[in-house]
Structure 1
Amino acid sequence: MKTTTKIFTVTAIAFATFLNVNAKAQTMNMSNGMAFKIGVGVSGGVTTEKSPFSYALGADVRLQYDLSKSVALTASGGYTRLFPKDNFPALADYDFIPAKGGVKVFPIERMYLMAEVGAGFAIQDGSKTSFIFGGGTGYEWNNGFELGIRYEGYQQDGTSTTYQPVNGQFALRLGYNF
């Protein structure tokens, strides 16, 4: 629990620090309309029905490179913890560092559809790296705030000490883009 508290404290401090930075200094608009953004976010989710976990909490940093007004590439990393259901007392929390890449498509101004794939680097001894896949939708406001929902699935190696055949979460993400 101390690790989670430390990570969320560091994330909160980073978030507050970034809020004090002028957002215009963080966005590089080029003559062809391309832009680079960085964002921070926190998320909470509920797991899929068959999962032995009940809910998830996480924090992330996301880089976004706008190729045009309607398409952007993303890269993100952070920390996620899945908490076991009460009827799985022997199962420990599953902590991992997700590293994902993806694409955002804006079919309507500021509303997006997103797809991501990547890896979840497990923290526990004996745990193996998970394949992460998912997608979602969200909205970016002009003031930098972002609200998104997503499904994120985890495919693990069967030899992992934290192996569960069915893992995934439906998550809500609150973020701020600079």
Structure 2
Amino acid sequence: MKTTVKIKALFTFAIALFFANNSQAQETKSFDQGFRLGIGLNGGMPTNNDTYDWSLGGDVRLQYDLTPKASLTLTTGFTNLFVDPNVNDLGFIPAKIGFKAFVWEDQFYVLGEVGGGFAVTNGYDQNTYIWSPGIGYAHDNIDVSLRYEAYTDYDTNQIALRVAYGFKL
């Protein structure tokens, strides 16, 4: 009886060794944690037509990739709100921090940013708080996003499209 127990144990050990020897590790994608820089062009339309007609701006976004699916962002640039011909346009510098999360196929993302807008043109001295949720698509060096941008002190909000070129630093 001892012999059959030893044979069963040896047989079980041999099978376990066979499966352990033939197992393979999953392939993992290498992740290069680091910084990216994006240079973008923005155009927007107001959500309330009484305040301004449209907007145009440019921005620079610094992105730090925490994981393959999550990044921190820091965005600044210049945005001009074009108002009625009888009223001076409002130009301001936005300064926003945000969080970007890739939600589908590592290319589609959601983004949330908060910060401030600092008026710099035509005698305006009113600053504003900015919050802006958005969605986007990033692939290789191209980044296209659509966002809602709310200004607490400029009596307006906008839907804006951003097209950008990005690269690793």
TM-score (ref. length: structure 1): 0.72
> 1:51, 1:168 within 8 Å by CA — same for their partners in 2?
no
CA apart distance, 1:51: 4.3
Residue number in structure 2 paired with 1:141: 139
Structure 1 stretches lacking a partner, 5+ long: 1-30, 157-163
Work out the percentage of aligned pairs sharing the same amino acid.
Answer: 39
What is the one-letter code of the residue matched to 2:162? R
Q: Cα deviation per residue 1:17-61 (whole Å; 9 max; x = unaligned)?
A: xxxxxxxxxxxxxx8642210110001010112541010000000
Separation of aligned partners in 1, 2:142 and 2:164: 6
Q: Cα deviation per residue 1:104-132 (whole Å; 9 max; x = unaligned)?
A: 01111111100001111101335221111
> 2:31, 2:68 within 8 Å by CA — same for their partners in 1?
no
Residue number in structure 1 paired with 2:151: 154
CA apart distance, 1:83: 0.6
Task: Give the 4+ runs in structure 1 shifted more than 4 A.
Answer: none
Residue number in structure 2 paired with 1:173: 162
Structure 2 stretches lacking a partner, 5+ long: 1-29
CA apart distance, 1:70: 1.1
Separation of aligned partners in 2, 1:110 and 1:64: 15
Aligned pairs, number: 136
Residue number in structure 1 paired with 2:42: 43
Separation of aligned partners in 2, 1:141 and 1:115: 19
**Pairing 1:103-118 to 2, within 5 Å after superposition:** 103-108=99-104, 109-118=106-115
TM-score (ref. length: structure 2): 0.75
RMSD: 1.6
Q: Cα deviation per residue 1:84-123 (whole Å; 9 max; x = unaligned)?
A: 146xx2x210100111100001111111100001111101
**Structure 1 residues 51 and 34: alpha-carbon distance in aligned structure 2, compared to 1, 3 A threshold:** farther
Task: Look up the SS of the partner of 1:53 in the other structure.
Answer: coil
Residue number in structure 2 paired with 1:56: 55
What is the one-letter code of the residue matched to 1:79? F
Separation of aligned partners in 2, 1:107 and 1:32: 17
